[in-house]
Amino acid sequence: MEKTLMQSDFRFPGQKGVYHGKVRDVYNIDEKYLLMVVTDRISAFDVVLPKGIPYKGQVLNQIADKFLDATSDIVPNWKIASPDPAVTIGHICKPYPVEMIVRAYLTGNLWRSYKDGLREINGVKLPEGMKEHQKFPEPIITPTTKAEQGLHDEDISSKEIVEQGLVPADEYRLIEGYATEIFKRGSEIAARHGLILVDTKYEFGNKDGVIMLIDEINTPDSSRYFYAEGYQERFDNGLQQKQLSKEFVREWLMENGFQGKKGQKVPDMPDEFVSRISERYIELYEKITGEMFVKHDISDIRTRIEDNCLKFLKTL
């Protein structure tokens, strides 16, 4: 099995701290910059699985890198550079405590709630008579609070966000407009490559009074994609849509008796299954970017990342 980066423990010049998330390790440099290392960890049901996925970090980072560049004319973003295939360095911003969930289709958890009678979410009214995977007349935004580590995000309406003082009204209007336009751009890019951007989440921050897009965007960890080819036929016949996401990982885990519930043990992941996951991530990269994926050397991925980052940090 090829080498993967499961943990990072770098010590960079000016390092003030590090946050280890489920997938990303984020280093604070001089209280001015964030150095985000996208590891090869994969999570499902809020659990980090025991094996890394070769090239997953590179895939996620490079997709986000391309979409940050492709939307920078809509809203400024935190990125300064990507000095390594699995790393982005950018500005520290004060994050807004909400995540903007944009949905173009009735699917996933929202469909399950709709089927049970839900007709309003986060202050957004849903049309009657919709079917699973049906397209909304216009994309809807269903924000959530950005929970502390270990807690779950909570649904919240735009009105509540402003009333509770989480985001000033004028800034929230801008953020909502940015999220709408970024999603539109992402959908256009996906369509050019035979995909449908179904739903995703965006995060924003503020630097010196300027609203900026932060974190990563439109990757399979934060977004759901359908294949455009066959969508209508499958929808008309009440069939499940062909997805390009990590949903199949969750399905495999459920088939093997794991849903993240108390007392359940993560099943052993055979190397063959790990390779299949890697191939799916690479497939998404090539589908969404329209470019061949170039595998970078992972024979000593830790040293590669450290050397590239140290070299770039000297230029800041």
How far are the Cα atoms of 42, 53, 206, 306 from residue 50, in angstroms, in the given order?
8, 10, 35, 24
CB 312, CB 83: distance < 8 Å: yes
Q: What angle do CA 119, 123, 129 make, to 5 degrees?
A: 20
Of the chain, the percentage scoring pLDDT greater than 70 comes to 97
Tell me yes or no: is domain 95-236 CATH 3.30.470.20. yes
Confidence of residue 295 (pLDDT cuts 50, 70, 90): very high
State whether the Cα torsion 287-288-292-294 is positive or negative: negative
Q: Return the SS3 of 160.
A: helix
Q: State mean pLDDT over 163-169.
A: 96
Ordered DSSP codes for 52-81 = --TTHHHHHHHHHHHHHHHTTTTS-BSEEE
The mean pLDDT of the chain is: 94
Judge whether residue 288 has pLDDT over 50. Answer: yes
Tokens in use for 71?
A: 């939307």
> How far apart (Å, rounded) are the C-alpha atoms in residues 282 and 300?
20
Those residues with Cβ within 8 angstroms of residue 306's Cβ, 6 or more apart along the chain or in another chain: 10
How far are the Cα atoms of 66, 71, 96 from residue 100, in angstroms, in the given order?
20, 16, 10
Q: Name residue 53's amino acid.
A: I
Q: State mean pLDDT over 214-221.
A: 91
User: Which range among 3-17, 174-188, 235-249 shows the weakest confidence by mean pLDDT?
Assistant: 235-249
Q: State mean pLDDT over 300-307.
A: 96
Those residues with Cβ within 8 angstroms of residue 288's Cβ, 6 or more apart along the chain or in another chain: 63, 189, 190, 193, 195, 218, 225
Judge whether residue 162 has pLDDT over 60. Answer: yes
Q: Name residue 61's amino acid.
A: N
Judge whether residue 310 has pLDDT over 90. Answer: yes
The pLDDT of residue 1 is 45
Confidence of residue 30 (pLDDT cuts 50, 70, 90): very high
CB 57, CB 2: distance < 8 Å: no
Q: What pLDDT digit, counting tens, does each position of 179-192 carry?
A: 999 999 999 999 99
Judge whether residue 151 has pLDDT over 70. Answer: no
The pLDDT of residue 165 is 96
The pLDDT of residue 147 is 65
The pLDDT of residue 148 is 62
The pLDDT of residue 309 is 98
Of the chain, the percentage scoring pLDDT greater than 90 comes to 87
* Phi, psi dihedrals of residue 86, rounded to the nearest 5°: -110, 15
Q: State mean pLDDT over 155-173.
A: 96
> How far apart (Å, rounded) are the C-alpha atoms in residues 209 and 62?
28
**pTM of the complete model:** 0.91
Domain boundaries, the chain: 95-236
Q: What pLDDT digit, counting tens, does each position of 120-147 carry?
A: 999 999 999 999 999 999 999 999 998 6
Q: What pLDDT digit, counting tens, does each position of 77-126 carry?
A: 999 999 999 999 999 999 999 999 999 999 988 999 999 999 999 999 99
Tell me the helix, strand and coil percentages in the chain, rounded to 5.
30, 25, 40
The pLDDT of residue 186 is 96
Q: Return the SS3 of 205.
A: strand
